[in-house]
Structure 1
Amino acid sequence: MELRQYQKDALNNIIRSHRRGNKNVLLQAATGSGKTVMASAFVKHFVEQGKKVLFLAHRRELITQCSSKLDAFGIKHGIIMAGSSAEFWYDVQVASIDTLRSRSITNKHEELPKADLVIIDEAHRCLSNTYLKLIRLYKDAHILGLTATPVRSDGRGLGHIFSDMVQAPSIGWLIKQGSLVKATYYAPTIPDLKGIQSSMGDYNSVQLAERMDNPQLVGDVISSWKKIAQGKKTIVFATSVSHSMNLAESFVDMGIRAAHIDGTTDHDERERVLSEFNSGTIQVICNCMVLTEGFDCPPAEVCVLARPTKSLGMYIQMVGRVLRPHPGKEHATIIDHSGAVYMHGFVEDEVKWSLDPKKPLSIQERKEQRDKEETMIICDGCFTAYSGSNICPKCGHVAEKKSKYVEVIDAELGWVDKATRTVKKKLTYAPEFREEFYSMLLGYCAMRGYSTGWAFHTYKNRFKELPNYSNAEATKPSKECRNYIKHLQIKAAMSKKNKRR
């Protein structure tokens, strides 16, 4: 397998770091940059010197991916994982961290495989007790960590384990080179997270789930998706198992092929769901803490963030699932219902990663952004995102006080501009949504005894085009449709009141 130039450069930098005396080196490489390819090339470098290598990962999918890449390099290896036959005679072993712990540390049924080099995939997890114990047991070996996000959940670096960090090109650079696709961001709602405590550097998971698993917010996710991404392969990240299941059920109720998986999903069932998602049988997959790492599906175009997080690493991992290129895929779509884009910025922004284990990454900047999260407003007049006042600095519109949750009446979504954090132009709604909305307007006419001309003009005013649906049938208006009509009625009443003055 031929390496790209930036992969060769990263490999050479790792070798130079080892020669400078750094025994434990961390490779930071963005999602889609080929971390496993680079690691496999490094394995080949060690094996050619007659040395032994142990590759560790925490998920079956990661082990399968590594094995596949090693095969591509012609490297014979064994796999230590439940359900796989052990082949200890090979100099390279790919092991599940849980299986290795169970067999060689807890029960001591098997000896630990000998290794001159230990590679840890998703190395931001290496401060867990199991990894730390294995690192101590392999104190004489070189350690190579692989990760796209070299920080703990609280933003602190991994300097307790690694003495040097080699950085491959950033997400922004890879997008410019065409190795990843650019991302377009939508921010329909910013949830109210006041009062939610922190735990391990992130939001308390129980309190967060209670706040986000709300019928109004779940409905907002579905309606926004229909406007922006209907028909596109989508990954939804939820706050809890129950939240994920409720989101999947809501999609299904709208006639959309969706499924849910979580950490407790049976292996065969998970494989079935992922296979059907890859093939297109399932269009939307909702998950809780399963697809953030080790999941490859380049055709996936849309990432829905329904899981707020203070962790920059978690945010990048989630969005990274949809950045891989695929034929016909022009860009990735990020629908942010979590406020992450306002807290962390855009994933293509440059990040100054550090190994410092004492100081969280850009702690002051991130603190300021967390403060903004509490008061961030999207202007109803010009859609500028701002904070610190209820008066829009761009157009002077006075924002109404928000209730506990951000209400979405007709949040005319738009593209979030990277430089100004403003919505540059309004969304072009999906054709399916337009037709469905017209049918609901006809249904409202039938309920109220209005002429169909009312539906015609209401549609025209909203979408700035004529409703060309000669076969449209009246259907029951959704809550969103009724809210939009109510919004128009309030607007008309206020206009009349102002004219009388």
Structure 2
Amino acid sequence: MSGFLTENEIEQTVESLINVYKIDRNLLIKFIGTDKYIKLNRMLMDLEVGAMDDYQLARMIVVEKGLFLFAGSNDVVRDLRALLLKQLEGEQLVRLYERNPISNRKIKSPSYMPKALAGKRWVMGGRWAREFVQTLGFPLAFSGISIPKDHSTDPVQDIEPRKSVPPLVEYQQGLKEKMLSVLNKEQEKTRCVVTLPTGGGKTRVAVESFIDWMQPRFNEGKYLLWIAQGEELCEQAISCITEMWQEREFPESLRVYRYFGGKTVKYESLIGGAAISSIQQLYSRIQSDDEALNEILANCGAMIIDEAHHATTKSYEVLFNKCKELAGVNLFPICGLTATPGRSNEETMTLVNQFEAYLIHPSLPDMRRYELNPLLYFREEGYLAEPIFLLHENGEEIEVSEYIEDEHDDLSKEFLNDLANNEKRNFQIIEYMESIPLDSSSLVYACTVEHAEFLAMIMNSIGRKSAAISADTPKPIRRMHIAAFKQGDIEFLFNYGVLTTGFDAPKTDHILICRPTSSIILYEQMVGRGLRGEKFGGTEYCKIVDFSKNIKRHGEPLAYARFINDWQIREIHNIDEISPLK
């Protein structure tokens, strides 16, 4: 079982809800809320699709909720479970209750059993969930038995040696040799900043270089400290470290420590290895004088900072001061990783100067056109997809100078929320998405969590399978939707704030930017999810559609303008120009 509903399972479930159990329309509306239901139907009327009937409404909800249709403890889900249980025959209901009794309650009358059972704690994959769906005749998938097991819950993991991965390509091997050369220098000279365009495999190169260099040092109880921004990037690093350790065929296992997401690493479990952490957790544990962290920092053999443009913040200053206190002022090798389109830019050089580091970038053939535009090499060789960029026309010009967040110098949540509720703009976004060919793979960046959910709801209502995820989406559901997107089970994956880094879906052929931003770093992170080329399992072209053309800051365009210039993008001016591309 794939962890995602099949079309047959969806049809069977909708048929049962509507024609067998006669679920009331008002209860279905409660699943999405009256206001959203009205807004949804208004949009469908504008699209000339027509208002949803009961069957279409039930189908949309089944697709939206997926395997979690009957899960949870909110009143709407409990009402649905109770309504279904009430329709069981008396003897069948009694037998179900006897197999799943309510603790500390002795219920004899069948009339009281549905409500009691409906409130029973639902555990995905548990006995009660399984008996509920089987007794009522729904697909077994709703019990949760097909949800992929979460392997990232333990703070400590041992990686066994085995497995094979493709070798580094020529420019990656050159980067590795440069990194090892820096690592083998002495003390303060062992600092480097590695710059490589998004999609070029900087994580893979860094992991292979540092794993090879650290391997004998792990046996001495030393640690490789990998620092990332957020849990997705941390898990991505662990996955890459796992593959590389197994591929190297080292005779011993490697211990990996998950030092993020609130996980606690016990001092007794420390034997050396790779410690993967978010900077947020490191900063917090330094404040609490965490014993395990002190041991890791005191015996750190090397540090890698992913998304190193963040390393100018106070949190990193506190971390470096703590490292000097525990490991000595000369510290250990430190490598910053950053994704930049060319050989260097202002942000990269700031990092180089801050760390007093060597700047390491790929060695490309000595041709003038590559000197002027390094990205041309990666595209011509098939390592990066060619971005095809469309600025979508969408209304009157909007000045955003009064909507700037002081902290990040970006557009405020208030402004993004106003855009999310702009019905005319949403109509244009949805109308464009309708024109995208079936079976395409589209990643959509929405203005807010609610905006992502609403757009996904609309697309599901018109028969285009979609899902929405955010930082609030439970991890099992998030992983399941991402896996389904990668496998082509859903066409549109909507998100807000979670799929800018640490997310790898090489076959993504459309990136839709509905969320405007003045941050070039954020913009590159968003579009970077679709820039992997065919040689790295991606696509020849990636179509990027931005709906921010009419939004200006101080009369100037937003981050997309710098992206077009820095990445030397081919810009087109109407949808027909990109529709033939695959």
- 1:251-286 Cα offsets, whole Å, 9 max, x none, are 223222111111222212212221222222222111
SS, match of residue 77 in structure 1: strand
The equivalent of 1:337 in structure 2 is 547
Equivalent of 1:118, from 303, 306, 317? 303
Matched residues in 1 for 2:579 and 2:332: separation? 56
Distance 1:111 1:185, change over 3 A: closer
SS, match of residue 494 in structure 2: strand
Matched, 1:40 2:207: yes
- 1:353-382 Cα offsets, whole Å, 9 max, x none, are xxxxxxxxxxxxxxxxxxxxxxxxxxxxxx
Matched residues in 2 for 1:321 and 1:183: separation? 11
Matched, 1:9 2:185: no
Equivalent of 2:411, from 192, 196, 203? 203
Deviation at 1:344, TM superposition (A): 2.0
The equivalent of 1:289 in structure 2 is 497
Equivalent of 1:146, from 337, 340, 357? 337
Task: Please tell me the residue identity of whatever aligns with 1:67.
Answer: I
Native 8 Å contact 1:59 1:96 kept in 2: yes
Equivalent of 2:231, from 60, 69, 93? 60
Task: Please tell me the residue identity of whatever aligns with 1:189.
Answer: E
SS, match of residue 502 in structure 2: coil
Q: How do 1:175-194 and structure 2 match up within 5 A?
A: 175-189=379-393, 192-194=397-399
SS, match of residue 319 in structure 1: helix
Equivalent of 2:351, from 144, 158, 168? 158
Native 8 Å contact 2:514 2:546 kept in 1: yes
Distance 1:194 1:105, change over 3 A: same
Task: Please tell me the residue identity of whatever aligns with 1:122.
Answer: E
Deviation at 1:335, TM superposition (A): 1.2
Bigger Cα displacement from structure 2, 37-46 vs 280-289: 37-46
Matched residues in 2 for 1:89 and 1:108: separation? 17
Equivalent of 1:173, from 374, 377, 380? 377
Task: Please tell me the residue identity of whatever aligns with 1:334.
Answer: I
Matched, 1:90 2:272: yes
Distance 1:245 1:312, change over 3 A: same
Deviation at 1:119, TM superposition (A): 0.6
Task: Please tell me the residue identity of whatever aligns with 1:63.
Answer: C
Deviation at 1:333, TM superposition (A): 1.3
SS, match of residue 430 in structure 2: helix
Deviation at 1:155, TM superposition (A): 9.7
Equivalent of 1:239, from 447, 461, 465? 447
Q: How do 1:123-142 and structure 2 match up within 5 A?
A: 123-139=308-324, 140-142=331-333
SS, match of residue 501 in structure 2: coil
Matched residues in 1 for 2:208 and 2:457: separation? 44
Task: Please tell me the residue identity of whatever aligns with 2:440.
Answer: K
Equivalent of 2:192, from 25, 28, 33? 25
* Runs of 5+ unmatched residues, structure 1: 351-416, 431-501
Matched residues in 2 for 1:105 and 1:138: separation? 13
Distance 1:425 1:335, change over 3 A: closer
The equivalent of 1:448 in structure 2 is none
Deviation at 1:154, TM superposition (A): 9.1
- 1:271-303 Cα offsets, whole Å, 9 max, x none, are 222122222222211111110101001122110
Bigger Cα displacement from structure 2, 149-158 vs 66-75: 149-158
Q: How do 1:345-364 and structure 2 match up within 5 A?
A: 345-346=563-564, 349=567
Matched residues in 1 for 2:401 and 2:194: separation? 34
Task: Please tell me the residue identity of whatever aligns with 2:544.
Answer: I
- 1:167-218 Cα offsets, whole Å, 9 max, x none, are 2375432211111221222222256330343332322332233235411111
SS, match of residue 298 in structure 1: coil
Bigger Cα displacement from structure 2, 102-111 vs 139-148: 102-111
Matched residues in 2 for 1:149 and 1:136: separation? 28
SS, match of residue 27 in structure 1: strand
Distance 1:301 1:348, change over 3 A: farther
Deviation at 1:149, TM superposition (A): 4.2
Deviation at 1:122, TM superposition (A): 1.7
Matched residues in 2 for 1:7 and 1:306: separation? 34
Bigger Cα displacement from structure 2, 87-96 vs 266-275: 87-96
Distance 1:216 1:348, change over 3 A: same
The equivalent of 2:573 in structure 1 is 423
Distance 1:219 1:157, change over 3 A: farther
The equivalent of 2:483 in structure 1 is 275
Native 8 Å contact 1:104 1:110 kept in 2: no
Task: Please tell me the residue identity of whatever aligns with 1:148.
Answer: A
Native 8 Å contact 1:26 1:166 kept in 2: yes
Percent of residue pairs bearing the same amino acid type = 24
Native 8 Å contact 1:55 1:119 kept in 2: yes
Distance 1:211 1:324, change over 3 A: same
Task: Please tell me the residue identity of whatever aligns with 1:66.
Answer: A
Task: Please tell me the residue identity of whatever aligns with 1:90.
Answer: G
Q: How do 1:322-333 and structure 2 match up within 5 A?
A: 322-325=530-533, 329-333=539-543
Native 8 Å contact 1:80 1:94 kept in 2: yes
Distance 1:159 1:269, change over 3 A: same
The equivalent of 1:80 in structure 2 is 258
Native 8 Å contact 2:471 2:497 kept in 1: yes
**Greater helix content:** 2
Distance 1:314 1:156, change over 3 A: farther
Deviation at 1:116, TM superposition (A): 2.6
- 1:63-98 Cα offsets, whole Å, 9 max, x none, are 232223223332723222456876521333223434
The equivalent of 1:449 in structure 2 is none
Matched, 1:261 2:474: no
Matched residues in 2 for 1:193 and 1:157: separation? 33
Q: How do 1:361-400 and structure 2 match up within 5 A?
A: none
SS, match of residue 226 in structure 2: strand
Distance 1:219 1:126, change over 3 A: same
Q: How do 1:299-318 and structure 2 match up within 5 A?
A: 299-318=507-526
SS, match of residue 158 in structure 1: helix
Distance 1:56 1:427, change over 3 A: same
